[in-house]
Each structure stands twice: as structure tokens, then as C-alpha cells.
Amino acid sequence: MLGQRGSSNVRRLTVMLVFSSLAATSVPAWAAGDEFDERRMQAQALYDQGVKLETSDPKAALGALRSSYEIHSNFRVLYNIARVCARLGDKDCATRSFEQYLKDGGAEIPTKRRKEVEAELKALTPRSKTTIMVTSSVRGAFVKIDGSVVGQTPLPAPVPVSAGKHKVVLVADGNVIEKTVHVAAGSSENVVLEAKKEETPAPAPAPVPAPAPAPTPEPATATAPEPAPAPPPEPAAAASPPPARPSDERGGVPVVPWIVAGALATATGVSAVLTASASSDYQALAGRYPVTRDELDAAHGKGRDLLLLTTVLGAVTVVSVGVAGYFTFFRGSAPPREKTVGLAVGPTGVTITGRLP
């Protein structure tokens, strides 16, 4: 009976450890490809192209960077746009892009990069006072001037431009509103762009329901409360003797195998937590734009190594539990042998005889 109970406990414990190991290692699979959606992948490709062409073909680089920003607006792209504009000698574009970069980036911009951009702004020559101020009641709409995105409504300040004719475009919820203005040198032009709104008919007033007649009160009749029935007496519970504990005729529980199994189980749990954390870091990095291939490869490799380590530790833990259970339930001490003791009294004294284990 004891051997059967021990074998059942070992099998039950082994099954529990297997399920725990599988649960710890069930981390989301690491996809080999990028996890960007289609638009973000397109924006990333345009960004990489623009960065590659910054030195050899600044005009083509500026076009690629602006297209990338229009597809997926990220403040990091504004930094590259400002650098290319400065290379092309367009100080108004460079200053405007640097200022928008500092505004949109906020606390996410490192201190060293922020000081670098502020120094670039001071080095730029003062802009002309020819500006265009774009206003609209629509919030979050993209504003373009001459094909270049200058920000989202509401714009924080007038946009510096050169004197002459300019095309102002507002893109809001798929609607495109355009307006061409002529700005004289040294003046400021205020452009108001509003999205067209569809008129909806006013809802008809709901009919007023007729008031319901008030219910007539019924005369109250006083009734005497009925006495509550007495609860039946509860039968006295028979005292049951405490269950007898089976005596353990085998030896004590081996401590060392269970300590090793516990340490391996703890290590498996810690490794599983680290694997899940690495998976979250990789997904967050994959969702960021722009991002480089080296950063994605490093995060992918870290998660893959942790997943392999968790799987190995889980398998070793299951084996160690099985070994500890074997020594606990099948390799106990042998049952004690019968002892025969005799007592003899003689003229010279008392003699004890017997067989001891």
C-alpha cells in the first residue's frame, strides 16, 4: 500500500512539474521578420533611403524623408529633415523642422541631442519676417505649405516663408482643403481653412406620453402576525475518533534531492520571467519608428537565448523531481528485524540474552 501511494504521488508530482514547465516556456514565438504593419514598413523604407542619400543627393533625400513623415509622423524624422534643409541652404525649413522636433520630442529627446539642436538653431541666420499663419477649428489636421508638412493644427506660431505665391493645404479626415495666397516681403498673411461639414436634419421631437391615472389606494386590513414555528432540535453530532495516522515504516525524507529540485524550479521561474520581459521589449522596439535592423537583431537574439535556457531548465527540473521522488518513496530504509531478548537468573547474578539488529 505504501509503495502504491508513493508511486501515485510521484506520477502526480511529475505531471504537475511538466505542466508548470510548459506554462513557463509558452512565451510568444519570436518572429523572424519585422512586426511592422504595411504603412510603418513603407515609412521605414523611405526613412532609410533618405538617410542614405543625405550626402550624395540631398534633394532626393529630402523628398524621401518628407514622404516618410507624411505616412507615419514621428518627431525623429524631423531631425533628419532639418539637417538636409540646412545642407540645401533652406534656413527657414531647417529652423522650422528643428523647432518642431524639440516641441514634439519633449522629454524623449536626450539631453546631449537637445543641446546640439539648440546650438544649431542659434547658428542659423535670423529668418525673414515674411510669414503665413494657418488657423482652423479642426484639431490634429496636417498643414502643408508648398508640399511640405509644417505641422498639425493648431500651429504654435506663424510659419516663415519667402515672399511670393504659396499653396497652403489642410488635410483632415481624408478631406483636402487648398488655398493659394500671395505674401509680400516683410508681411504676414493669415489663412483660415475649414473642413466642409455635412448638414444633418434636426431630429423630430419625441411624442410626450399621456400621464397614467393614479392608482386608488386599497383599505388596509390589520392582521395579527402568526407566531413563528419553533425550530426543530438539532441532533447531537456523534463524536468521531480522529483518524489514525499511518505509521511511516520507511526512513526519513532525503533532503538533498528535493533542495536541488527546488533550486532548479526557482531558476526555471526566474528564466521564464526574464524571457517574457525580453519578449515585451522586442515587441515595443518593433513597434517603434524609426528603428535600425541592428537593434531588432540584438533584441531578437536575447529573447531566443532566454527561451532556450528556460526550456532546458524546465526539462532538468522535471528530471530532478522524478529522482527526488524515487529516493523518497522507493529507496527508504529497510524494515526493522525482529528482536529476541531473554532474561536468566542464576546463583551468580542475572544474565540477559538476545539477538539485536
- Over residues 258-285, mean pLDDT: 87
Residue 248 has a pLDDT of 44
Q: Which domain holds residue 268?
A: 2-32+252-329
Residue 299 lies in a domain: yes
Number of domains, the chain: 1
Give the separation between CA 109 and CA 122, rounded to whole angstroms.
18
CB atoms within 10 A of CB 194: 12
Cell of 283: 515587441
The dihedral through the CA atoms of 243, 247, 252, 257 has a sign that is negative
Residue 105 lies in a domain: no
Residue 53 has a pLDDT of 92
Give Cβ neighbours of residue 110 (< 8 Å, ≥ 6 apart). Answer: none
Nearest to 289, CA basis, from 62, 71, 85: 71
pLDDT tens string 210-225 = 666 655 555 555 455 5
Tell me the whole-structure pTM to 2 decimals. Answer: 0.42
Q: Strand pairing of 349-355 and 175-183?
A: unpaired
Please give the mean pLDDT across all residues of the chain: 76
Q: Is residue 235 pLDDT above 50, yes or no?
A: yes
Residue 342 lies in a domain: no
Q: Are 178 and 168 in contact (CB under 8 A)?
A: yes
